[in-house]
Structure 1
């Protein structure tokens, strides 16, 4: 298995397109850093001695909106979270006078996880389909190795490639952010609101959790692209469907959730696990356990289809 994994890993990195993907990801981080560094506003926070009064006034306005019912139903929980966080700041004397730093830059760079996901999808869509297109699948299957092991090594290589891109993104954002913006002068915790309570998290732990949770969508879409590649032997189809669902799946699911209760069973209603930690579930009745179970079900279905079809396919022709 290790030898198979090494072979697949070498195949991925021998392609010039793979190196172009990494370079494009790094250039994207640099572009965000350059734009953020030289923008006129938003980086420097003035030393506001009356920040406590500002938070108190903000809370009064939020509470007034809640009492009068002028807050949109979708924003009620968000408004309550802001009130709770402001109260926690006041109680524990955590100032809002914090300049933009490397932690903020890493957080902003997390938007590029979808960009890394796009590259991973391209690799997943071609890693099986291209074997049939190039005719190399026959040479691959004449080895005294089970088809399941061959397919699993390809899938594992794709996932490792995706993890590699996420680590490169995080590491380069950390390096570039430290150079451009530096570290904060004092350690400021991240205030997390969950189940009506506010807790403190170290910024590095919060960012690691953020990158991890945001990678769930990447994992599921990549697995689907791998399944389509294995079943239909068409990399273009796999890329097209996967990219479309990656960017439109969430929007379409949200629209359906406003009218149909069964929308909660759709894959994209469950890929955003941050809704259970820093927001509200997409639909009433959804829980973290429910979403994890749904993700596992889809994950198993994708793999069952991919492995079943690949093991039964006749490649003699």
Structure 2
């Protein structure tokens, strides 16, 4: 099996597209960090001061004894919303720090997902389109081992890109941003101790990596079933971008909780669940079932397919 994986790994990196994707990923990470640092010079917070002035004006209105209960309740609700908006925007208008940049490293994982989809879709489908599948299957190796080696190669590729994201995000954070002041930083509306950033950032990267593996498994399945790289890439990317909208459109129906895209595991750490009824445990079960289903379809299709014609 190890020899098969090594062979698939060499074939994957023999393609220029693989190197281009890896280089683009590194350039994107460093470039985004540089642009973020540059944009801080042009940050205008006067509009926050205007909102604070509106809050003061609302306090003056609330001090008036002539207000009815309904008017007072309306002004208080408006003031509360404005205060929350000010707090949120003050947080995001703060100068960037290397700690917050490291914690937010998972935000670049969408690029890893896209690149891994491309690799997953073509690793088997290209064998059929180029006609090399016959030569591959002529070797005295069982089909399930060949398919497993290709799938494990994709997982390793996704893992490698994830490591690149994390490493170069840390490098960029130390190049472009100063250390956070004080003993904590603000992350998703809560205080996060500086000593906890490494554990938190690694955990978020791990959860994001699971999502990468899942959508890549789907692309791998489509490529093995339909033997079309373009179909596998197009369908996977379409669902990747539209999955959330599909879930929100169907959220009033019971079936929404069983849709794969409702179970992005990072949502439980971010505090913004797509469906209130979902839990981390339930999502892990659903994701596991989908993974088994995708792989079962891939193996059954590949083992039974006639490639002699």
Q: TM-score, normalised by structure 2?
A: 0.79
Contact 1:105 1:173 in 2 (8 A): yes
Look up the match of 1:20: 20
Match of 2:261 in 1: 268
Superposed CA RMSD in Å reads 3.4
Give the counterpart of 1:292 among 269, 275, 284. Answer: 284
Contact in 2 for aligned 1:125/1:229 (Cα 8 Å) = yes
Asked whether the 8 Å contact 1:190–1:202 carries over to 2, the reply is: no
Say yes or no: does 1:104 pair with 2:100. Answer: yes
Q: Distance in 1 between matches of 2:245 and 2:198?
A: 30
After superposition, where does 1:88-167 map in structure 2 within 5 Å? 99-167=95-163
2:49 aligns with none
- CA contact 1:189–1:203 (8 Å) conserved in 2: no
1:36 and 2:36 are equivalent in the alignment: yes
Does the 8 Å contact 1:4/1:150 carry over to 2?
yes
Displaced runs of 4+ in structure 1, greater than 4 A?
68-72, 96-99, 189-194, 198-201
2:161 and 2:79 map into 1 onto residues whose CA distance is 40
Residue 12 of structure 2 aligns to a residue whose secondary structure is helix
Q: Secondary structure at the match of 2:202?
A: helix
User: What is the CA–CA distance in structure 2 between the aligned matches of 1:216 and 1:254, rounded to whole Å?
Assistant: 22
Q: 1:220 to 1:5 in 2, by over 3 A?
A: same
* Structure 2 portions without partners, runs of 5+: 46-51, 60-71
Equivalent runs, 1:253-264 vs 2, <5 Å: 253-257=247-251, 259-264=252-257
Q: How far is 1:205 from its partner? A: 1.0
2:184 is paired with a residue of what secondary structure? Answer: coil
1:273 aligns to what SS in structure 2? coil
**Aligned position for 2:68:** none
CA distance in 1, matches of 2:299, 2:118: 20
1:220 is aligned to 214
The structure having more radius of gyration, on CA atoms, is 2
Residue 252 (str. 1) matches residue 281 (str. 2): no
Q: Deviations over 1:146-194 (max 9, x none)?
A: 1111101100100110110011011011112101114336553666889
